[in-house]
Chain A
Amino acid sequence: MVPQNMKEQLALAVRSIQWSYVIFWSESVNQPGVLSWGEGYYNGEIKTRKTSQGVELSSDEIGLQRSEQLRELFRSLKPVDTNPQTKRPSAALSPDDLTDTEWYYLVCMSFVFNIGQGVPGRALENGQPIWLIDAYSVDCKEFSRALLAKTVVCFPFMKGVIELGTTDHVSEDLSLIQQIKTSLLNSLSVDDPINARATLSSRNNEGVACVAFDDNDYDVELIPEVGYDIINTTTSPNGSSNALQANQLRNETFMVESWQVLDDDLSNCVHNSVNSSDCISQNISSAPKVGEDCNNNQKMSLVDPLSEDWHYQKILSELLKSNDQLTMGMHFQNFHQESSFCVWNKGVPVNFQRPRQGTSQKLLKKILFEVPRMHTDGLLESQEENDYREGTRLEADEGMNHVLSERRRRAKLNERFLTLRSMVPSNSKDDKVSILDDAIEYLRKLEKKIRELEAQREPTGIESRSKKSHHDMVERTTDHYYNNKTNNGKKPMVKKRKICDIEETRREICSDASKGSSNKNVTVSMSDNGVVIEMKCPSKAGRILEIMEAVNNLNIDFNSVQSTEEADGSLHLIIKSKFKGPANATTKRIKQALQKVASKF
């Protein structure tokens, strides 16, 4: 039951203490035992003031006008309202014009409380005032509208509850409540209802158009908002909103008025929109334009000015729950029937599959860690075939960032290590040191084997061989190694290249050590500009000279000549020399020339 001049008295009261707003929650007529919006006065910050007539109003009048405009806006946003007058697009305010506090005030209009529920409900039930400080930070279970109001006071008054709120921090002061109570009581009892009606209706001439005053029943104005649809909300038509709210709102199970036209509206949206479903974010972007025709698009436009305010969004999303369902997809609102998904059950552990033994994220890790390696390994094989490109590639990459090329260099080193590992029998680990150790070990083994083999082949040559240089030894070793590999038929060219790279030389080796025919016993090896000739021939006076001469004719300079006369009368020569000029003789030609000399008798 709302006394007629309630608004004025509320205004006076709230202005006297300079708080932001006052709401009178009164018992709903249609829903006994439920508190709903009775009357209110907004005394807070105002964003855009619309003075259509340009008439200067007193602050008193401004405040009343504003409160009425807010009420009007709320009504215009409410599709439920059947009063044609409120549907006219004449709401003095558009949703764009509101401050956050005004929004809060506006949102409050949609709340209803059971007796004993929520702060207003409990205040009424206990008959005691409730003073809530820092309502903002209070858990939402306590005060679900906890938004911008820092201090909220509720006290029972005339079968209803007065709620006062401010954005400032005000500590509890029961005398304040008493002061307001008495001032309200006095003025209300003194005031002549008839006069009050007169003032109010004159004020309402162009503002709140829908006020249908009746001496017998002055509640009429307030009823439509509450309406029968409270039942709808509690047994919510689209079930999901209930389920979703249930977790969040325990104590203050406020019932948001259901926007009755919702379903129709949604389906309209669905049919009209190109994508067959709409979403909040799209509406946010379009909302500023929506302001004027908010009658058609009310729910969407509500969202707009609040995009920065989480708390508001939360409340609004409660109010506008169905929008979320839209955004999720058309069927989401019906997910009880059709969705594959079940509502998350908090306490009860869902029957779930324990992860199998082994690593977690197995496939994801394989995709990220192992598949790239498959490519690299595959690449390595094919790369070896075009290995000759390697040199050019390095140069071409000059332009690349240094870091990158350094990384590539390391990658190449790693590749080479892998190659080396594949060539060397290995029984130890895969790290680089082990690979090198294995390679060294393997080389030593091979060298030893060569020595043994050569010892078998030339049982008499031991003495002379002992004088051979280490360099020669290596040469032979590698030589042997290649042959060995060649015989295995396993990528001979590639392996050879690798070793050559390592030694940074290009060698052609021609070993023509056929047994029996001593005159063919000539070995020529070339490295860079150097030539090493090793030959054996029957000893003869002037033989060395002849050989030197022949070699000289081939444009070769001597570095050193080492000769040994062996027991069987043959001459063993090792000539280290180098080419004089660019016109190099081939190994074959050198050999032929020397063989010719050696075969002279």
Chain B
Amino acid sequence: MDNSTQESHLRSDNNSVTYDSPYPLYAMSISPNTNSPQQRIAVGSFIEEYTNRIDILNFNPDTLSLKPQPSLSFDHPYPPTKLMFHPATHSSLQKTSSDLLATSGDYLRLWEVRENSVEALSLFNNSKTSEFCAPLTSFDWNEIEPKRIGTSSIDTTCTIWDIERGVVETQLIAHDKEVYDIAWGESRVFASVSADGSVRIFDLRDKEHSTIIYESPQPDTPLLRLAWNKKDLRYMATILMDSNKVVILDIRSPTTPVAELERHRAGVNAIAWAPRSSKHICSGGDDAQALIWELPAVAGPNGIDPMTTYSAGCEINQLQWSAAQPDWIAIAFANKMQLLRV
């Protein structure tokens, strides 16, 4: 591997590439767009001030090059809580050189990342009469119905947007407390986690009801993140506040988790299911470990051990498994973003 062409703030060896950002990083997304050999990766800064940045990098898995695109950097008010590229790989929305990127924070925003520029396409405000819109903790883009984005908010609601028409499809009071994450299962089914400690599933066809499929053991231990296994919709994973567990849920057996992955030695910060396999999940935590787990058919008496492990320099705050290149996982820690070969 010829490293001489790499830029100074990039380091790489045979199986990983590192990007050093000028600021701490949190939000991150890898474009699933397979139209070009270059994979776009968006990273969002975490600066506790108004002005934050979103940077776009080009990643080439063949040459292991990771190049920032300064012309594609743009400002974001306060740190973005989540970044996500348009999930569909073959979409009429997508021209070869442009990607749609959604961000959440004060509002849901949509950006078009072009060849040499980024344009703010739209800003979604769900209050009809004012600029007031409760801040968003997260969102998820519906893979099957990509015009649909669901957002989760601290005002206990989830809002489902039709982004093509720019209208609110529905707004549901999802929980008793702040909603921290949302994930789509099917085109009309989503789940959310909340400070009230519950995982609930909603069906847009029946907005009156929701199904609680898990409640944290100590009442009101907030659930912070949720990941729905896209390859086997029976399973989802969630993480608890101040807990080293990854809780695996089977929607067929509500309230009792099918597995609890407890090999992290400190709090878990991020989880991601493998994009092409139904039984692999990766988790990253405060112990600086990224663990890849293979869910066994039957759990042994001593719990489940991860299959493989990677040690980062410090707390791993973010983790994304590339859908287009399933042998690459991206992690973020401190001011670094690192791509790891699985």
Residues on A lying within 8 angstroms of B by beta carbon are 244, 247, 275, 277, 279-281, 310-311, 313-314, 317, 324, 327-332, 335, 338-344, 346, 350-356, 359-368, 370-376, 378-379, 382-383, 386, 389, 392-393, 396-397, 401, 403-404, 407, 411
Contact = CB atoms under 8 A, between A and B. Distances in A.
A361 B242 contact: yes
A243 to B, nearest CB: 9
A357 to B, nearest CB: 11
A375 B109 CA distance: 15
A367 B79 contact: yes
Interface in B96-141: 105-106, 128-132, 134-137
B81 A340 contact: no
Interface stretch (B3-11, B150-158, B196-204, B210-218): B150-158
Interface of B: 14-16, 24, 26, 46, 48, 50, 77-79, 81, 105-106, 128-132, 134-137, 154-157, 173, 178, 180, 224-225, 231-232, 241-242, 263, 265-270, 274, 276-280, 286-292, 294, 296-298, 305-315, 317, 325-328, 340-342
B277 A324 contact: yes
A344 B341 contact: no
A350 B311 CA distance: 9
Contact of A338 (B14, B77, B224): B14
B77 A313 contact: no
Contacts of B77: 375, 378
Contacts of A404: 155, 157, 173
Contacts of A277: 276, 326
Nearest to A373: B135
A354 B224 CA distance: 22
Contacts of B308: 335, 339, 341-344
Nearest to B278: A281
Contact of A363 (B129, B173, B309, B317): B317
Contact of B231 (A281, A374, A383, A392): A281
B309 A389 contact: no
A361 B286 contact: yes
Centre residue among A244, A350, A373, A386 by max chain B CB count within 10 A? A350
A341 B81 contact: no
Given A353-B311, A375-B105, 16 more contacts: A281-B277, A339-B308, A340-B15, A352-B265, A352-B288, A360-B242, A361-B268, A361-B286, A364-B317, A368-B137, A370-B48, A371-B81, A372-B137, A383-B132, A403-B173, A407-B155
Contact of B46 (A244, A324, A350, A367): A367
A374 B78 contact: yes
Contacts of B224: 361, 364-365, 368
Centre residue among A280, A310, A351, A368 by max chain B CB count within 10 A? A368
Contact of A340 (B137, B267, B296, B310): B310
Contacts of A338: 14-15, 341
Centre residue among A344, A366, A376, A401 by max chain B CB count within 10 A? A344
A340 to B, nearest CB: 4
The 9 residue pairs across chains A and B that have the minimum distance between CB atoms: A329-B327, A327-B277, A360-B267, A372-B135, A341-B308, A353-B288, A310-B297, A340-B340, A355-B266
A248 to B, nearest CB: 8
B173 A329 contact: no
A601 B276 CA distance: 100
B137 A341 contact: no
Nearest to B289: A352
Contacts of A335: 308, 342
A491 B155 CA distance: 29
B79 A371 contact: yes
Nearest to A394: B129
A351 B15 CA distance: 20
B59 to A, nearest CB: 15
Contacts of A280: 277-278
Contacts of A382: 131
Nearest to A351: B311
Contacts, number: 211
Contacts of A375: 77-78, 105-106, 135
A340 B327 CA distance: 11
Nearest to B27: A367
A135 B326 CA distance: 39
A341 B277 contact: no
A327 B280 contact: yes
A277 B328 CA distance: 13
Contacts of B315: 353, 355-356, 362-363
Contacts of B15: 338-340
Contacts of B309: 341-344, 350
A331 B64 CA distance: 14
B296 A328 contact: no
Contacts of B279: 324
A344 B293 CA distance: 10
Centre residue among B136, B155, B327 by max chain A CB count within 10 A? B327
Given A353-B314, A366-B46, A396-B128, A340 B16 contact: yes
A374 B78 CA distance: 7
A329 B276 contact: yes
A352 B81 CA distance: 28
A396 B129 contact: yes
Nearest to B241: A361
B19 to A, nearest CB: 15
Contacts of A331: 327, 341-342
A280 B278 CA distance: 8
Nearest to B269: A364
A397 B279 CA distance: 46
Nearest to B44: A367
Nearest to B334: A363
Contacts of A327: 274, 276-278, 280, 326
A340 B310 CA distance: 7
Contact of B269 (A247, A340, A341, A361): A361
A366 B290 CA distance: 21
A397 B77 CA distance: 27
A356 B326 CA distance: 31
Nearest to B332: A363
A337 to B, nearest CB: 8
A281 B26 CA distance: 32
Nearest to A397: B129
A47 B26 CA distance: 54
A314 B276 contact: no
5 contacts: A277-B276, A281-B277, A311-B298, A367-B46, A378-B77
Centre residue among B135, B232, B286 by max chain A CB count within 10 A? B286
Centre residue among A338, A360, A382 by max chain B CB count within 10 A? A360
Contact of B26 (A341, A343, A363): A363
A168 to B, nearest CB: 22
A407 B156 contact: yes
Contacts of B156: 407
Contact of B81 (A353, A362, A367, A378): A367
B305 A328 contact: no
Contacts of B263: 344
A279 B326 CA distance: 11
A392 B130 CA distance: 10
Contacts of A386: 130-131
A378 B50 contact: yes
Centre residue among B24, B231, B276, B314 by max chain A CB count within 10 A? B276
A346 B105 contact: no
Contacts of B313: 353
